[in-house]
Structure 1
Amino acid sequence: MSDDRTTLQDLKEKMAQFVHERDWEQFHTPKNLSMSIAIEAAELMEHFQWLTVEASKTLPLDALSDIGEELADIVIYSLSLANALQLDLTDTVLAKMAKNIRKYPSEKVRGKSHKYTHYLQDRESDGTER
């Protein structure tokens, strides 16, 4: 299986089967899964904690492997949370992207990294609506 041949539904089903075979549904509550995502995100950040920006872009293979495992844990828990909450991830991601497109219009934000509220102030000052 690879990214170009695997759907989100395939991954969600694999996770559901894995959890079910271990009788872990009782532990896979939205609270526990959201906490697990945050914990795994912190473990991912540890790999980059003291690196320079340049060093973070040129990682040795063993570091990439470890980072990949942490990223996989985040995705795994995210898939399990989507299952627990019966969220369609494709619909959810596309809706969020549409919202981000509105919040971050490319003609205003290209090459900038401000939070969206910065651009709301620009809209207010030039008379356009939110």
Structure 2
Amino acid sequence: MAADGGELLHIFQWLTPAESTAAMGDPVRSARVREEMADVFAHLLRMADVLDLDVEQALADKIEGDARTSTHKLRR
């Protein structure tokens, strides 16, 4: 998974956010991004299956926790 994640990040390594967005207009680069992102996603889904992890619930919990943390930081 780390290798595939590294390959995905490598595509965008030296690009600005605007260049990264524009790069998706290039069919070759877009295909590479899709392939590497699918590889990473497949690894994550397989890992979640093996660990019997409810990915949807984990994401919901994470979003809720982040919202609480953000609210707490704003109150300081």
Greater share of helix: 2
Deviation for aligned residue 1:62: 1.2
TM-score (norm 1): 0.51
**Relative contact order: is structure 1 or structure 2 higher (C-alpha 8 Å, sep ≥ 6)?**
2
Unaligned 5+ segments in structure 2 are none
Q: Which residue of 1 aligns with 2:6?
A: 42
- The one-letter code of the counterpart of 2:6 is A
Q: Which residue of 2 aligns with 1:91?
A: 57
Instruction: Let me know the Cα RMSD of the aligned residues.
Output: 1.9
Deviation for aligned residue 1:53: 2.9
Unaligned 5+ segments in structure 1 are 1-35, 109-118, 124-130
Kindly, what percent of the aligned residue pairs are identical?
30
**Partner of 1:47: helix, strand, or coil?**
helix
Deviation for aligned residue 1:54: 2.3
Q: What's the CA shift string for 1:83-107, capped at 9, x where partnerless?
A: 01000111111111110111123xx
Count of residues in Structure 1 that have an aligned counterpart in Structure 2: 74
**Partner of 1:104: helix, strand, or coil?**
helix
